[in-house]
Structure 1
Amino acid sequence: MDLRAMLQKLDTAIKTVYKTTKKEYKDPLQGILYDITPVTGAVNNIVTLNSVPGMREFKSERKHGVADNTVHTIAPRKWESTLDVEREKIEDDDLGQIPNQTRVMTTKSGRHYGALAVAALPVGFTANLSDGKPFFHADRGNLIPGAFSAGTFSKAFDALVGMKDADGDFINPIPTHLIVGQENREEAEKILLREKLDNGQSNTNYKRVELIVDPRIAGKAAFLVAAKEGMCPLTIAERVKVGAPVAKTDINSDRAFETDVFSWGLRGRYDAAYQAMQFIVTVKGS
């Protein structure tokens, strides 16, 4: 058995599966709720969050990290995901699940940008930005109180199309998408997908915007977005894009000697940041 040759073959297979899976997956909220901004350093109004599934924050070693829910100027954090393969599985050619595990790792890393953006939404009600107010605030015109309904949807629509710039001039954003979680799915479908109301009259909100139901969004809040204005409400500040898995397969390394484990890891540096509050209005819910 040539262990080095088997490791090289496995490395090629893992990277091929990663490349194929990476092309297949696109987060449904990318280009709508968030876009991606390459950055070279610190970023204003960046969001640090904990308990976001997928990639894990990279601390002093590859393990779970913890960050406070705060908003301030920092450099994008490091994230990692690691696939370990025991030496015995390679020696016994017991590698049937490795491609599937690679697909899962790759898909989760692809979802991580969206997971960070979704996790930033509830923080936007409470954490102050550099101007001393949360991202969603009545003074910004992007916060509608009350339960989500046809009435509050109309108020959100009017608030979004009525947005003004810092000089008080109308910017006329066009609402394109309503984003809700499972708790608001039924009400959102009633508002947007019925041609007729219960009284038989035409539904003026019928397909007025596109509905996105994303199970990652918890609670009763709903978010109306103008997604064709040149930038999205949130962005992923991307310092280092997640690249192909890096192999740790040196059979003479101390780790291989002590643990009989070889690893393939993903790494990136990025974080969610608030970007364009004038292109989103939320109905907070109750």
Structure 2
Amino acid sequence: MPRVITPEIIEASFKGFKTAYQRGFASSTSLYTSLATVITSTAREEVYSWLGDMPKMREWIGDRRVKQLSAKGYSIRNRTFEMTVGVRREDIEDDSLGLYAPRFEMMGQSAASHPDEILFELINKAFVSACYDGQNFFDTDHPVGPEGAQVSVSNMQAGAGETWILADFSRPLKPWVFQRRRDYNFARKEDANTSDHVFMRDEYLYGVDARVAAGYGFWQMAFGSKAELTSANLRAAYTAMTNFTDDEGRKLNIKPTHLIVGSGNLFKARDLLLPAQIGATTNVDQNLVSIIEAPMLQ
């Protein structure tokens, strides 16, 4: 005879499922906090009017020069995501809940890795998607300089290979933004035997939901390339980044810290940056930057 499903049994089931979910969540290693500045959102859409105006000290002569927020109007709209698992009533009656533990653990892993999916969905479109200045994030024609006297600046190399990215992660604002409006929350929909869904479908529902989004920060903090990952191309990208200036012509003091590569470029990156010697020659590129392997990078 199946056991009677009481509120106590429902509560115990929920705690067990949540424990499995949290175990999976904790076991997942994510990259997004290393690559993106995490911003707490308080609205449906956040407007980043200050992008394009990287602060820099100047000698104080005369009155203070007030840095106004640029009227770029770059905004990031939050998106809503969910994932739901149904548990059959018979399985709770028959105390067969151990079968669901791996599923809820996988749900936790999926939720923990979801920010990376959102971020790399953005990064993989960076050659064809606009940032705050109206140009693609990786582009050859970023306008830099005072109004009427702007010049085009490139933060990309063309090519037909797998993308690799040189980035400066030493600043408070990273090249990308991960926006969090509502964090990943594990919840349930059930009330013993009175739930409408249980009555109609004979199953209990458990799920996770979140409101998040990703967007572009300062393009000056990253250099994207589809060219072959060679010492010459890496040095060219590195030099270009160190020469980036603000609209007043002053260098931004950018120094690349990391090379982001997908699986296809991982061993090329290691061969370039890790050995003390290449052949019988000292490797002057050794430890120039640190390597970040990003399997989702295309």
CA distance in 2, matches of 1:44, 1:147: 36
CA distance in 1, matches of 2:135, 2:17: 46
Unaligned runs of 5+ in 2: 49-73, 143-153, 159-226
Displacement after TM superposition at 1:180 (Å): 0.6
Amino acid at match of 1:152: N
Unaligned runs of 5+ in 1: 46-71, 219-286
Displacement after TM superposition at 1:78 (Å): 0.4
Q: Partner of 1:164 in structure 2? A: 245
CA distance in 1, matches of 2:47, 2:157: 26
**TM-score under structure 1 normalisation?**
0.61
Displacement after TM superposition at 1:153 (Å): 0.7
Amino acid at match of 1:158: T
Amino acid at match of 1:11: F
Candidates 247, 269, 272, aligned match of 1:188: 269
CA distance in 1, matches of 2:255, 2:239: 10
Q: Partner of 1:6 in structure 2? A: 9
CA distance in 1, matches of 2:132, 2:291: 32
CA contact (8 A) 1:182 1:213 kept: yes
CA contact (8 A) 1:118 1:216 kept: yes
CA distance in 1, matches of 2:76, 2:120: 20
Displacement after TM superposition at 1:156 (Å): 1.3
Provide Cα deviations, 1:158-183, integer angstroms capped at 9, x if missing partner. 12222222332212122221111111
CA contact (8 A) 1:18 1:106 kept: yes
Higher relative contact order (CA 8 A, sep 6+): 1
Displacement after TM superposition at 1:22 (Å): 3.3
1:19 has 2:22 as partner: yes
Structure 1 SS opposite 2:237? helix
CA distance in 2, matches of 1:34, 1:119: 13
Amino acid at match of 1:10: S
Q: Partner of 2:46 in structure 1? A: 43
CA contact (8 A) 1:144 1:155 kept: no
Structure 1 residue runs of 4 or more that deviate by more than 4 Å after TM superposition: none
Candidates 98, 107, 110, aligned match of 2:109: 107
Amino acid at match of 2:228: A
Q: Partner of 2:230 in structure 1? A: 149
Displacement after TM superposition at 1:139 (Å): 2.8
**TM-score under structure 2 normalisation?**
0.59
Between the two proteins, the alignment pairs up a number of residues equal to 191
After superposition, the CA RMSD in angstroms is: 2.2
Question: In structure 2, do the counterparts of structure 1 residues 32 and 159 end up closer, same or farther at CA, with 3 Å as the change threshold?
Answer: farther
